[in-house]
Chains A and B, each alone.
Chain A
Amino acid sequence: MSRNQSLPWWVEIGVLPVINLAAAFIVSGLVMAALGHDPFEALGLMVTGAFGSADSLGYTLYYTTNFIFTGLAVALASHAGLFNIGAEGQAMLGGLGAALVGLVISPGLPGIIAIPLAILAAMIFGGIWGAIPGWLQAYRGSHVVITTIMMNFLAGALLTYLLVDVLIAPGGGTPESRSISENVWLPAAHQIAQSLGLELAQTPLNLSLLLGLFCALGLNIFLWRTRWGFSLRAVGLNPHAALYAGISPSRMTVLAMALSGALAGLVGANEILGAQHRLVLGFTGGYGFVGIAVALMGRNRPTGVIIASLLFGALYQGGSELALDMPGISRDLVVMIQGLIILFCGALENIFRSPLARLFAAARSTRAELTGTAGG
C-alpha cells in the first residue's frame, strides 16, 4: 500500500501541489463560467491586481506576511503530529498582547526597547493560547482539534468583550481601541525605502515581512538542526519510539503548540504594530484558517510555506481588486478558491497522488526490466 504511494521528492514537493492547485482553479473557473463570468478575464484581473503595480505588490506582500506566520504555525504543529486549527484565536491573542504593550507599557519607552517588547508580548500571548490546548492534549487526552476550535471562540469572545467594554477608545462608537503609542509602530516599507533615498508607494507592508522570513529560517534550523527540533519531529513520526528514545511526547506536545501559537501570534505584530496601529475587531480576517491551506500547499516546509504564502497573498489582494473591477463578483470568490485549494490539497489529494504513484511505479519497473535485459 505505502509502497505504491511513494513518489520522487520533486513530484511530492513540486508537481503534486501544482496539480492540486490547478484542480482548485479549474473548479473555480467552472463555477465562474456557470455564473456567467469569464474566468480567464477574472484570472487576468487578479494577476494584475496582485502584481500589476508597486502599490498592489506592497499589499500582496503585506497579506503574504500574515500567511507566512499562520502557515509556519500550522506547519510546526504538524511536524509534532498535531493539527492546530486554532491559529485564528492565537493570532487574536497575539494582537491583544501587542496592543496592550502599545497602549499601556510602551509610552515613554525608546522604540528600540518598546518594539521588541510588543513583538515578544504578541508571541507570549499567542503562545499561551496555543499551549493550553497543547497541555490539554498532552496531559488530559483531549483532542487538540476540538480544543483549538473552542479556544478560537473563546478568543473571539474575549476580544469582543475587551473591545466593547474595556479597551474601547473613550468616546468612540465602534469597538476599537485608541491608537497605540507611536514608538511601537513597525516601520513601513515606504518609510524604510525613504530613509534609503528610494520612493515607494504607501502600503501597509512593514518590517514584519522580514520578521516572517527570519522566522521561516529559524524554524528550518530549529526543526532540522537542533536537538529539540529532532525530538519534536520524532514525536510526530512515532510517539512510542520517541518515548523509548527518552523523549517526552507530552512535553514536546506542549512545546510544539506553544511555539505554534507564538508564530500565529505574530500576525498581531504585522496587523496591530505594522498596519492598524490600534486593536480592532476581526483583524485576523481568517488568516489562521488559511494557514492550514498554506501549510498543506507548502508541504509543511518553511520554504514551501513562503512560496504558498505568496500565492495566497496574491489571491487575497488580487481578489479584492477583482471584486472592484468586475461587477457581480464578490470578494468571497477568494474564500471559495481557498476552500477548494484546501479540499484538493488535503482531503482529496489522493485523487492525483495514487495515479501518479502508479505511473512512477510502472516507469520504475519498466526501467528495471530494460536495464535487466541490457545487462544480460
Chain B
Amino acid sequence: MDDFITVSLALAAGSLRLAIPLMLGALGGLFSERAGIVDVGIEGKMLISAFASAAVAHATNSPWAGLAAGLGAGIVFALIHGVGAIAFRGNQVVSGMALNILAAGLTVTIAAALYSQGGRTPQLPDAARFRGTSFAAADGTSQLDPALRALFELVAGHNILVYLSLVLVPALVWLVHKTRFGLRLRAVGENPEAVDTAGIQVATLRYQASIISGLLCGLAGTYIAIAQSASFVPNMTAGKGYLALAALIFGKWRIWPTFFACLLFAFADAAQSRLQGLNIPGIGAIPVQFIQALPYVLTLVLLAGLVGRAIPPKASGVPYVKER
C-alpha cells in the first residue's frame, strides 16, 4: 500500500513536470487565438526559445539570462507571425508552419556552427539551470519515509519555473476574464468590427496578444531546455507545441479546461513508461504508441463532435481590414 502511494505521488509529480511546457504553450496559443490569430506555430516559438535560453545560459552561466533570452526569442517569433498576420494579412496557418520549419532549421544551423556538436549546445552546469530540490542526501539515500519523500518532492521539489507557471494560470484567468484588456481581447477574436467601432485599435490589441503568446511559448521553451534538460538538442520540443495546440482545442479555448487537458495529456505521457508491458486481461499488452496517440485521438473525437463540441473564436484566422 505504501508502495502504491509512493508510486502515485511520483506519477503525479512527473505529470506536473510534463504538463508545464504543454500548459505554457497552450496558453500562449490561447492568447493568440482568442485575439483572432490562428497559432499553429507554438512548436516553433517553443523550439527557438529552447535554443536561445540554452545558448545564453551556457554563455553567461546564468539561468535568468537564459530565461530572458528565451522570452525574447519567443517574442521575436511571435512578432514575425503577428506582422505577417496583422500588417500584411498573410495566411496565418502558412505563417505558423513556416515558423515551425524555420525554427527547426535555424536552431540546428546556429548550434552546429557555434558548438560543432551536431546541433546541440554543450551540457549546462547546474548553476546555469533552474533546478528543483531533491529530498535525498548526496549519496541518493534518504532518512525520510519513501512516501513522505515523494510527497515532499511533489509539493516542494520542483524548480521555480513550475511554481511560476502554476501562479500564472489564475493570474491569466483574471487577466482574460476580469480586466478591461481581457474583455477587449476576447471581443477582438469574436467581432473585431465591433471593437473597432468602439474606438479601440484592433491591430494594437492583436500585437499585444501576440507578445503575450510569445512570452508564454518562450517560457515553455526555456523550461524544456534549461529546467527539464541541461542542454539544447535538435528538435527537442518533439511535437509538444502541437500537443499544446491539441490541448487548447480540447480545452475549447478556455484557460482552466485547457490546463486540465494539459494535465491529462501529461499524465498519459508520464504513465506510458509504467504501462509499458502491462497486460490487460482480454486485450493484451497496450502498445506505447497507442498511449502516445491517445491525446490526438481524444482531440479528434472531440472535434468530430462525438463528445461535446469545440468551437473556435469566430474571427480566428481572418485578417481584419478596416472599412474605409
Q: Chain A: residues with CB nearer than 8 A to chain B? A: 1, 31, 35-37, 83, 85, 136, 140-143, 145-147, 149-151, 153-154, 157-158, 160-161, 164-165, 286, 289-290, 292, 296, 328-330, 332-340, 342-343, 346-351, 354
Contact = CB atoms under 8 A, between A and B. Distances in A.
B108 A330 contact: yes
B305 interface: yes
A90 to B, nearest CB: 15
Given A335-B101, A339-B101, A292 B94 contact: yes
B321 interface: yes
Contacts of A333: 105, 109
A334 B105 contact: yes
Given A140-B305, A328-B116, A31 B90 contact: no
Contact of A154 (B90, B100, B296): B296
A292 B104 contact: no
A56 to B, nearest CB: 22
A343 B84 contact: yes
A88 B321 CA distance: 34
B98 A342 contact: yes
B89 interface: yes
A339 to B, nearest CB: 3
A296 B31 CA distance: 28
Contacts of A286: 101
A157 B292 contact: yes
Contact of A35 (B81, B103, B109, B245): B109
B112 A348 contact: no
Interface in B92-131: 92-95, 97-106, 108-110, 112-114, 116, 118-119
Contact of A149 (B118, B245, B287): B245
Contacts, number: 160
B113 A328 contact: yes
A160 B291 CA distance: 12
Top 10 nearest A-B pairs (CB, nearest first) are A339-B102, A336-B105, A335-B105, A347-B95, A346-B94, A347-B84, A142-B303, A339-B101, A332-B108, A342-B98
B90 A338 contact: no
Contacts of A332: 104-105, 108-109, 112, 119, 234
A362 B112 CA distance: 47
8 contacts: A35-B113, A145-B40, A153-B293, A329-B112, A330-B112, A332-B112, A337-B105, A342-B101
B306 to A, nearest CB: 8
B223 interface: no
Given A142-B305, A333-B105, A336-B106, A351 B88 contact: yes
Interface string B219-246: 0000000000000001000010010011
Contacts of A158: 289, 293
A254 B149 CA distance: 55
B65 interface: no
Nearest to A152: B242
A83 B112 CA distance: 33
Interface residues of B, number: 55
Contacts of A164: 287, 289
Mostly helix, strand, loop or mixed at chain B's interface?
helix
A339 B104 contact: yes
Interface in B52-106: 80-81, 83-85, 88-95, 97-106
Nearest to B43: A149
Contacts of A290: 101
Q: B80, B114, B245, B293 — which one has the most chain A CB atoms within 10 A of its CB?
A: B293
Contacts of A136: 300, 303-304
B90 A85 contact: no
B132 interface: no
Contact of B92 (A36, A85, A347, A351): A347
A143 B311 CA distance: 10
B93 A85 contact: yes
Interface of B: 38, 40, 80-81, 83-85, 88-95, 97-106, 108-110, 112-114, 116, 118-119, 234, 239, 242, 245-246, 249, 287, 289-290, 292-293, 296-297, 299-300, 303-305, 310, 312, 321
A339 B99 contact: yes
Q: B80, B85, B109, B300 — which one has the most chain A CB atoms within 10 A of its CB?
A: B109
A168 B319 CA distance: 48
Contacts of B296: 150, 153-154, 157
Contacts of B106: 31, 336, 339
Contact of A150 (B287, B290, B299): B299
Contact of A37 (B85, B89, B113, B289): B113
B79 to A, nearest CB: 12
Contacts of B246: 149-150
A249 to B, nearest CB: 18
Contacts of B292: 157
A309 B142 CA distance: 61
Nearest to B242: A149
A346 B98 contact: yes
B101 A350 contact: no
B206 to A, nearest CB: 15
A339 B289 contact: no
B98 A339 contact: yes
Contact of B300 (A147, A161, A165): A147
B129 to A, nearest CB: 25
A143 B242 contact: no
B97 A157 contact: no
B105 A342 contact: no
Given A157-B289, A160-B289, A336 B303 contact: no
Given A332-B104, A332-B234, A340-B102, A346 B113 contact: no
B242 A338 contact: no
A338 B101 contact: yes
A336 to B, nearest CB: 3
